[in-house]
A and B are shown apart, each in its own frame.
Chain A
């Protein structure tokens, strides 16, 4: 790639680039441009309100209820931002390709893979990492159930499973086994704790429903 062409692509956010690919007219412009976007299409592609990011940038993320200021490059993933910039190491890097679920975080309460998202794309959203689930030394019902059912071994996949299970139970407080599997289908455990994870999620659901009933 020549320096000149390189510069042309630089001012586009990844998301807008992907968005652009979705629309027919621009998609063809990109293809006829030999895989690169012609300069004249750029303004059209970006549309109103689009933002250009060059080099590093200071951004603010809302993580675990706290505003965190950090410096990132456009390519910095949310996972890198969380682990390396904010030193929240509970979120694990296992595959870095969206194939294992170990980096699951909640974004506006939805389970998302931090390795597949750019830090600049989640500005303004509520991000919860495993560190943000419970106060220091305390356990949520999901965490308690994982402990009780021994739904863990080496622990490396555990935060990801806890996050996915938390998101599932928020959406569906009484999931069937099939729904539990669906909710956890993106998470891998090499130690083979799946049967106990299913039990833990069931137990957590029961515990949480009981808790709600008491209130």
Chain B
């Protein structure tokens, strides 16, 4: 089935928040944000701003009738700064005017006096000063300390990995419309309608049932609207509440990049111990997460870093330490992968370094240590239906790794300025919210008397094709034509307490609930049919191609007739249902449990060509074998794989998020923050889906798809490293991502002695030799 929104999208008829018809008297809001990264507010002068033509009102923290608090996990984040500011871009006041231009003009004349305080931008510096969020956490398996002695080689190192700006093409957007008796409807571009509802109610000091949040679709989310759509909705609601007029707040691109959180940068130390043959015996890692100024979702993201720090490998002795560090940057937030990619990157760096020291191909260590059935993860869960080895072996065979290696080595022998490189990248990603309680989904299904069907779920369509998959699941369950089925907007009045559309889990949870709701209605319809037609076994009634069959033979009724008769006989044609996958738990005191419903596996082979004079490179090919279970919709899922891959490749290469020491974002526009574009796309992408890969824990045997493919992108870093080493074999490159062309040149020609990488093969200090260009 094609994406159900496809034709609308191509005609430009799909409506996003700012496309909705404008209600009469609509006002526009703009946000005044802190220009300094840390300080005490001495005075805010609104006088000049108030005099601007078109300005209706200006609101500050003082105008919040309820609680000035939006922190989703820890109450450490005011909606509007009151006495202190903690990052550049922190909202301080909101201006409401007759046009967005008037509101923005007035924002510029707000003057704030701030007593500036020390600015911290580095997570390790924050840690040193005790500026941490929550408690540090450690996952442990086996006995690391006593294992170092039996290792043939021990390698240590440091990794730096950058953040990533979401650049969802639709910026943060909301429209708040006050309705009668102190109620309000919000049209919000959020992945988490319930979070918006709950938080707006808290800000206004009213019960949740007075707030309705409605979401038709998002112009991209990628995690950036999981929690961080909420403040903008709250601000618009605050203004609408006081003025009793509809208020729209749409950030422009510059404001959005400046004021919203991004993927977390991490700084990590690793130590890995192996046998000579490449078997990993012990691994220890310390992750310092740069959380930004408030907790946001950082503790949950840190948790997924802990879960995925050993990627697709079994390491019998592992100690994983992670701490969330508070800095004066915008609160970093969810981004596809949710902390997992950072953990995996460090693991791959450790393997790369070990391979270089042992002088064996990196993939030898990778293959030798892949998870096998029953292997234990550091969090206590055992690998079930482990597909790390099968996807790896299939990739190596299908895409002929030895031919790739030969081709590349031959090329490198005959080319001096241009070098090729390759890398394998296996992935293992756990599916479930790691906060167990969020693993619940709901659906509400109505069948109307004309036989048309309306489905509302707790899931949000943000381009991931969720609505299309819901239709597909409904068609499979109901046996009627897809044209009869409509997926409605996500709405807090129709579905209560929905979890965010995140963690790749929306189809599993809300799709699962949809199947169950439809089954409820079907079972009533079957009982009714059996009674009416005097059929003995209602279970043997089925609907296929809109025909009602009994034991496979036509009953003479079709779907439409069945529905009309059922309605006349007063059979309920609506159902609400719920799905919470069983067997998921995690104990944070022991850091052990069974947090994931299942895992997604796959392996990618990435090839690159690097111009070692200019630092520029081309991604020649990405070949991958991926485990989708039995896909609900192959077309949608392959789009997700390609899209996730593009974001992962971008994160590791061209997407360079930069802040200066004052906490100012330097890469603050699409001109200074590079995104994957048409020329960045790999010349060749081949995707092979693992066959006969049933998954009894997903709807109709399928597996979640959203996040895992992003992590294939990590492989490009190591493919480029291979090419760099082919050019300068004696040089020791630091592990720092993204590997922009500039950084490639610094690596190739700079003095890497200044890097803090330390390599310690046992009892032997390796000299790092600067190599000049050839």
Interchain CB contact under 8 A, A139 and B669: no
Interchain CB contact under 8 A, A154 and B677: no
* Residue in contact with A150 in the complex, picked from B170, B639, B670, CB distance below 8 Å: B639
Interchain CB contact under 8 A, A87 and B21: yes
Given contacts A147-B6, A153-B465, A156-B16, contact A95 B644 (CB under 8 A): no
Q: Kindly state the separation between the CA atoms of A93 and B16 in the bound complex, as whole angstroms.
A: 11
Name the distance in Å between B546's Cβ and chain A's nearest Cβ: 24
Q: Mask for A139-160, Cβ within 8 A of B = 1, else 0?
A: 1001100111010111111110
Name the distance in Å between B39's Cβ and chain A's nearest Cβ: 30
Q: Kindly state the separation between the CA atoms of A198 and B636 in the bound complex, as whole angstroms.
A: 17
Name the distance in Å between B551's Cβ and chain A's nearest Cβ: 39
* Residue in contact with B643 in the complex, picked from A87, A89, A153, A158, CB distance below 8 Å: A153
Interchain CB contact under 8 A, A152 and B9: yes
Closest to B682 in A: A195
CB neighbours of A134 from chain B (8 A): 11
Q: Mask for B430-451, Cβ within 8 A of A = 1, else 0?
A: 0000000000000000000000
Instruction: Verify if A202 is at the interface (C-beta below 8 Å from B).
Output: no
Q: Kindly state the separation between the CA atoms of A153 and B221 in the bound complex, as whole angstroms.
A: 11
Closest to A148 in B: B2
Interchain CB contact under 8 A, B464 and A143: no
Q: Kindly state the separation between the CA atoms of A150 and B641 in the bound complex, as whole angstroms.
A: 13
* Residue in contact with B2 in the complex, picked from A93, A97, A143, A150, CB distance below 8 Å: A150
Interchain CB contact under 8 A, B217 and A154: yes
Name the distance in Å between B320's Cβ and chain A's nearest Cβ: 30
Name the distance in Å between A37's Cβ and chain B's nearest Cβ: 24
CB neighbours of A89 from chain B (8 A): 12, 15, 18-19
Q: Kindly state the separation between the CA atoms of A99 and B674 in the bound complex, as whole angstroms.
A: 10
Given contacts A95-B670, A150-B636, A154-B218, contact A190 B168 (CB under 8 A): yes
Instruction: Verify if A42 is at the interface (C-beta below 8 Å from B).
Output: no
Instruction: Verify if A131 is at the interface (C-beta below 8 Å from B).
Output: yes
Q: Kindly state the separation between the CA atoms of A133 and B169 in the bound complex, as whole angstroms.
A: 23
Most chain B beta carbons < 10 A, residue from A87, A139, A142, A152:
A152
A131-B11, A152-B5, A185-B679 given; name 14 further pairs at CB < 8 Å: A83-B18, A94-B170, A96-B253, A147-B3, A147-B6, A150-B2, A150-B638, A154-B169, A156-B168, A156-B169, A156-B463, A185-B677, A191-B643, A192-B644
Name the distance in Å between A125's Cβ and chain B's nearest Cβ: 20
Instruction: Verify if A184 is at the interface (C-beta below 8 Å from B).
Output: yes
Closest to B3 in A: A150
Instruction: Verify if B589 is at the interface (C-beta below 8 Å from A).
Output: no
CB neighbours of B679 from chain A (8 A): 181, 185
Q: Kindly state the separation between the CA atoms of A147 and B14 in the bound complex, as whole angstroms.
A: 14
Given contacts A146-B6, A150-B3, contact A99 B220 (CB under 8 A): no
Q: Mask for B493-521, Cβ within 8 A of A = 1, else 0?
A: 00000000000000000000000000000
* Residue in contact with A153 in the complex, picked from B7, B12, B463, CB distance below 8 Å: B463
Name the distance in Å between A82's Cβ and chain B's nearest Cβ: 11
Q: Mask for A73-96, Cβ within 8 A of B = 1, else 0?
A: 000000000010001111111111
* Residue in contact with B6 in the complex, picked from A93, A150, A156, A189, CB distance below 8 Å: A150
Closest to B166 in A: A190
Q: Mask for A149-181, Cβ within 8 A of B = 1, else 0?
A: 010111111110010000000000000000001
Name the distance in Å between B71's Cβ and chain A's nearest Cβ: 28
* Residue in contact with A139 in the complex, picked from B11, B638, B644, B678, CB distance below 8 Å: B11
Interchain CB contact under 8 A, A195 and B677: no
Given contacts A97-B253, A97-B671, A150-B3, contact A159 B10 (CB under 8 A): yes
Q: Kindly state the separation between the CA atoms of A184 and B680 in the bound complex, as whole angstroms.
A: 12
- Dominant secondary structure at the A interface: loop
CB neighbours of A198 from chain B (8 A): 678, 681
CB neighbours of A96 from chain B (8 A): 252-253
Given contacts A102-B169, A193-B642, A195-B685, contact A158 B9 (CB under 8 A): yes
* Residue in contact with A192 in the complex, picked from B18, B635, B636, B676, CB distance below 8 Å: B676
Interchain CB contact under 8 A, B169 and A100: yes
Interchain CB contact under 8 A, A146 and B678: no
Q: Which of B636-695 contact A (CB under 8 A)?
A: 636, 638-639, 642-647, 669-671, 675-679, 681, 685
* Residue in contact with A99 in the complex, picked from B6, B19, B670, CB distance below 8 Å: B670
Q: Kindly state the separation between the CA atoms of A91 and B9 in the bound complex, as whole angstroms.
A: 11
Closest to B171 in A: A94
Instruction: Verify if A9 is at the interface (C-beta below 8 Å from B).
Output: no
Q: Kindly state the separation between the CA atoms of A193 and B3 in the bound complex, as whole angstroms.
A: 13
* Residue in contact with B220 in the complex, picked from A88, A133, A191, A195, CB distance below 8 Å: A191
Instruction: Verify if B222 is at the interface (C-beta below 8 Å from A).
Output: yes
Can you report 18 residue pairs joining A to B where beta carbons are below 8 Å apart? A88-B12, A93-B18, A143-B10, A152-B3, A153-B3, A153-B463, A154-B168, A154-B217, A154-B220, A154-B463, A155-B217, A156-B16, A156-B168, A159-B12, A181-B678, A184-B678, A185-B677, A190-B222
Q: Kindly state the separation between the CA atoms of A185 and B167 in the bound complex, as whole angstroms.
A: 18
Given contacts A100-B670, A191-B643, A195-B685, contact A156 B219 (CB under 8 A): yes
CB neighbours of A155 from chain B (8 A): 5, 8-9, 14, 217, 219, 463
Name the distance in Å between A193's Cβ and chain B's nearest Cβ: 7
Pick the 9 closest A-B CB pairs, nearest first. Answer: A90-B12, A154-B463, A192-B646, A156-B219, A155-B9, A192-B643, A130-B12, A89-B19, A153-B463
Closest to A73 in B: B101
Most chain B beta carbons < 10 A, residue from A89, A156, A193:
A156
CB neighbours of B334 from chain A (8 A): none
Q: Kindly state the separation between the CA atoms of A131 and B9 in the bound complex, as whole angstroms.
A: 11
Given contacts A192-B644, A195-B685, contact A94 B169 (CB under 8 A): yes
Q: Kindly state the separation between the CA atoms of A89 and B15 in the bound complex, as whole angstroms.
A: 8
- Dominant secondary structure at the B interface: loop
Instruction: Verify if A129 is at the interface (C-beta below 8 Å from B).
Output: yes
Name the distance in Å between A139's Cβ and chain B's nearest Cβ: 6
Instruction: Verify if B462 is at the interface (C-beta below 8 Å from A).
Output: yes
Instruction: Verify if A187 is at the interface (C-beta below 8 Å from B).
Output: yes
Interchain CB contact under 8 A, A190 and B169: yes
Q: Which of B166-212 contact A (CB under 8 A)?
A: 166-171
Given contacts A95-B669, A156-B169, contact A139 B7 (CB under 8 A): yes
Closest to A146 in B: B10
Q: Mask for A198-214, Cβ within 8 A of B = 1, else 0?
A: 10000000000000000
Instruction: Verify if A126 is at the interface (C-beta below 8 Å from B).
Output: no
Name the distance in Å between B643's Cβ and chain A's nearest Cβ: 3
Closest to B676 in A: A192
Name the distance in Å between A51's Cβ and chain B's nearest Cβ: 23
Q: Kindly state the separation between the CA atoms of A181 and B669 in the bound complex, as whole angstroms.
A: 23
CB neighbours of B669 from chain A (8 A): 95, 97, 99
Instruction: Verify if A194 is at the interface (C-beta below 8 Å from B).
Output: yes
Q: Kindly state the separation between the CA atoms of A143 and B6 in the bound complex, as whole angstroms.
A: 9
Q: Kindly state the separation between the CA atoms of A44 and B496 in the bound complex, as whole angstroms.
A: 68
Instruction: Verify if A110 is at the interface (C-beta below 8 Å from B).
Output: no
Q: Kindly state the separation between the CA atoms of A170 and B152 in the bound complex, as whole angstroms.
A: 66
Interchain CB contact under 8 A, A193 and B639: yes
Name the distance in Å between A105's Cβ and chain B's nearest Cβ: 11
Closest to A187 in B: B678
Interchain CB contact under 8 A, A194 and B678: yes
Interchain CB contact under 8 A, B169 and A157: yes
Given contacts A152-B3, A193-B642, contact A97 B10 (CB under 8 A): no
Interchain CB contact under 8 A, A97 and B643: no
Closest to A99 in B: B670
Q: Mask for B106-133, Cβ within 8 A of A = 1, else 0?
A: 0000000000000000000000000000
CB neighbours of B678 from chain A (8 A): 181, 184-185, 187, 194, 198
Q: Kindly state the separation between the CA atoms of A11 and B215 in the bound complex, as whole angstroms.
A: 45
CB neighbours of A143 from chain B (8 A): 7, 10-11
Q: Which of A93-123 contact B (CB under 8 A)?
A: 93-97, 99-100, 102
Given contacts A139-B11, A190-B675, contact A196 B642 (CB under 8 A): yes
Instruction: Verify if A30 is at the interface (C-beta below 8 Å from B).
Output: no
Closest to B167 in A: A190
Instruction: Verify if A188 is at the interface (C-beta below 8 Å from B).
Output: yes
CB neighbours of B222 from chain A (8 A): 190
